[in-house]
A = this chain, B = another copy of it.
């Protein structure tokens, strides 16, 4: 069954540049976008970001990204599948996302260590 109550996302045409900029002007959220850009088309779950911040903080930041129109969040069981809204952002602000991602390639968050993870195996169902 894939019929979960959807979370609210802004329509493409309502995505605001200054809101997107303000949202990405945060190291943690920029790092989330970086990981998403390198994860393949399947997206990631919130749990895969816990190397960047605490579980509660990730909930907060992913909400911000969703409300700004940067990511799509889809409930799947107890998880949330998070994907970049690539096409929508490209349509609205051509070239913007690519330039961000290119400049983000070598960024990382240091100093956070919590709930240690095996190194981010992508799209695997269960440990």
Contacts and interface: CB of A to CB of B under 8 A. Distances in A.
* Copies of this polypeptide in the complex: 2
A116 interface: no
Interface string A27-43: 10010000000000000
Contact of A103 (B19, B22, B92, B98): B92
What bracket does the count of chain A residues touching chain B fall in? 20 to 34
The residue in A22, A27, A93 that gathers the most chain B C-beta atoms within 10 A of its C-beta is A22
Contacts of A96: 96, 99-100, 103
A26 B17 CA distance: 10
Q: Give the residue among A19, A25, A98, A103 with the most B Cβ atoms within 10 A.
A: A25
B93 A103 contact: yes
